[in-house]
């Protein structure tokens, strides 16, 4: 194994770990999570399965979809994400609960902002390593490539809207009030939708690409 491949593996693993930590922070801040985690939060509310195991189960379903339609999107990072992220997020949330047992709106906002920054850094490391994508990312990528008239951005918006809508329905079905639902679909959901792209690009330019040691295109 050459030095460059070792770097890619370390970056992929680091990206997944940091991403899992950020998801736990998002959940404890309770000011909204990203679209896919909105769906996962809804499923978590109605199914009596620990979050880590539920995350693996849902992603195995999406993985079977990707395997059937386009295996090129599946790589080492896909499996690292599948088997580790849910349990890391679970542990991160438990740690945040112990660290911040009684939160104020200020501490929640600070936790949310830190989670957004970490998620963008994690995504930058993960994507730059280029060793496969998450099963959720694969869905919109495969869809956009098969339906060439529909750009990836539109496919991603549609899949995100489906996840958010399904998450809200499931949270309500679990008996959550609208106020409780805003902990899942809130300002954090909106901020990630509008600011993740520019932040990921910044991390690509300043950290991930230099770390990998490759010139930007």
The per-residue pLDDT for range 137-148, each reduced to its tens digit, is 888 888 888 877
Q: For residue 140, with 0-12 CB atoms within 10 Å meaning exposed, 13-18 middle and 19 or more buried, which class applies?
A: buried
Residues 102-156: tens digit of each pLDDT: 889 999 999 999 999 999 899 889 888 888 878 888 888 888 888 777 887 788 8
Q: How many residues in total does the chain contain?
A: 217
Least trusted range by pLDDT, from 16-20, 31-35, 134-138, 147-151: 147-151
Here the tokens at position 43 are: 């499923």
59 contacts 82 by C-beta, under 8 angstroms:
yes
Least trusted range by pLDDT, from 18-22, 54-58, 109-113, 183-187: 183-187
What percent of the chain has a predicted confidence (pLDDT) above 90?
37
115 contacts 29 by C-beta, under 8 angstroms:
yes
Closest CA to 170 of 49, 45, 34, 78: 45
| pLDDT for 114 | 95
Query: How many C-beta atoms lie closer than 10 Å to residue 200's C-beta?
Result: 21
């Amino acid at each position: 194994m050459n030095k460059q491949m070792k770097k890619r593996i370390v970056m992929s693993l680091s990206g997944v770990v940091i991403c899992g930590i950020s998801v736990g922070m998002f959940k404890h801040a309770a000011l909204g999570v990203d679209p896919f985690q909105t769906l996962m939060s809804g499923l978590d509310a109605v199914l009596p399965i620990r979050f880590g195991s539920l995350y693996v189960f849902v992603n195995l379903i999406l993985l079977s979809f990707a395997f059937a339609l386009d295996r090129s999107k599946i790589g080492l990072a896909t499996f690292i994400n599948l088997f580790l992220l849910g349990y890391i997020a679970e542990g991160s949330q438990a740690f945040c609960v112990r660290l911040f047992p009684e939160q104020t709106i200020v501490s929640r906002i600070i936790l949310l902002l830190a989670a957004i920054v970490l998620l963008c850094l994690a995504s930058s490391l993960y994507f730059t390593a280029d060793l496969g994508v998450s099963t959720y990312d694969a869905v919109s990528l495969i869809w956009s490539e098969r339906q060439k008239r529909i750009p990836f951005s539109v496919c991603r918006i549609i899949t995100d809207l489906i996840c958010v809508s399904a998450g809200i329905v499931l949270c309500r079905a679990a008996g959550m009030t609208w106020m409780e639902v805003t902990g899942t679909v809130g300002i954090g959901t909106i901020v990630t939708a509008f600011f993740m792209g520019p932040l990921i690009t910044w991390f690509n330019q300043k950290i991930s690409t230099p770390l990998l040691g490759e010139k930007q295109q």
